[in-house]
Amino acid sequence: MRKLNINLPKYRLLLQFKLIKRRKPLVDEAFIPRASVINKKYRTGTAVGKFVRHIFDHKRVGRMLGTGLSLLVIAGSFFPPYSNVQAQGETDSIVIESETTLKTQKSVQIPVESLKVTQGYSFFHPGVDLDGLTGDPVHSIKPGRVIAIAYSRFSYGDEIIIDHGNGLSSLYAHLSQINVKAGDEVSMDTIIGRMGSTGHSTGDHLHLEVHKDGHPINPFSILPR
């Protein structure tokens, strides 16, 4: 401790000061010093903690962080937000959507215009009876090929059998008129015949049977209702 006395005309000034050795600037220190240097510099804490404190206390790190943040701020002032850049680079566009009518094609249909079931499917009646009037048009339930035509005054009367492929076939009985012949390819729009009451029948109707692999199945297992 050093003392300095200064005598003034009316006052006596006493100054006390202590000479402290100037610490070596951290910027001159090694960025990654030896462990002994770090332990001497920091008395407390773990080895990892002392090392981290040294890194962040180093002036080089402070300068680098300060310079980096400054550059980011300056660069951000020159570039507008991404949304604005995108809006300026794009031109207004008008999208005109045309209406599209989708037409779905039926895969199976009722063979008559009006559905009215007078007798359903059962073990003793392997088909369904659809009511109507003599002369009503009869269509194929699916596209296919005519494989048999029969004319009779008994049993099913005048009938048509159509093969639809994949083991599926259909039979149309009690017709008053047949418009196709064996071997004809028919679509769902083809009028294959007209409803009637031929054969063993008690009135105007269409008897429809559907067979899968030669065995009768309920037609409404595939027909829409």
Q: Are residues 127 and 217 in the same domain?
A: yes
For residue 210, what are the β-bridge partners?
Answer: 170, 217
Is the pTM higher than 0.85? The answer reads: no
Residue 108 is assigned to a structural domain of this protein: no
**What's the mean pLDDT when you consider all of the chain?**
78
Cβ-based neighbours of 41, under 8 Å, separated by 6 or more: 50, 54
Residue 96 is assigned to a structural domain of this protein: no
Enter the tokens of residue 81. Answer: 């937000």
**What pairing do the DSSP bridges indicate for beta strands 117-119 and 137-139?**
unpaired
* Length of the chain, in residues: 225
Segments forming the whole domain that contains residue 151: 117-221
Residue 98 is assigned to a structural domain of this protein: no
At 130-141, the pLDDT tens digits run 999 999 999 999
| Alpha-carbon Rg for the chain in angstroms | 51
pLDDT at 26: 46
Question: What mean pLDDT comes out for the span 2-13?
Answer: 61
Q: Are residues 213 and 141 in the same domain?
A: yes
Enter the tokens of residue 59. Answer: 């002036």
Residue 48 is assigned to a structural domain of this protein: yes
Q: What total of structural domains would you count in the chain?
A: 2
Taking the C-alpha atoms of residue 177 and residue 134, their distance in angstroms, rounded to an integer, is 9
pLDDT at 154: 92
Residue 106 is assigned to a structural domain of this protein: no
Q: Are residues 61 and 154 in the same domain?
A: no
Q: Are residues 68 and 149 in the same domain?
A: no
Other C-beta atoms closer than 10 Å to the C-beta of 114 total 10
Residue 153 is assigned to a structural domain of this protein: yes
**What pairing do the DSSP bridges indicate for beta strands 185-186 and 144-150?**
antiparallel
Any idea what the CATH number is for the domain that residue 190 is in? 2.70.70.10
At 18-62, the pLDDT tens digits run 665 555 544 455 656 666 666 666 666 677 666 666 666 665 555
Residue 213 has pLDDT above 60, yes or no: yes
pLDDT at 83: 47
> Phi-psi region for residue 65, left (φ > 0), alpha (ψ -120 to 50) or beta?
alpha
**Percent of the chain surpassing pLDDT 70:** 54
Q: Are residues 150 and 189 in the same domain?
A: yes
pLDDT at 79: 56
- Please name the residue that has the structure tokens 């009938």: 159
Residue 95 is assigned to a structural domain of this protein: no
At 67-91, the pLDDT tens digits run 665 556 556 655 555 544 444 445 5
Residue 110 is assigned to a structural domain of this protein: no
Q: Are residues 70 and 31 in the same domain?
A: yes
Residue type, 162: I
Cβ-based neighbours of 195, under 8 Å, separated by 6 or more: 112, 132, 133, 134, 135, 136, 137, 138, 174, 175, 176, 204, 205, 206
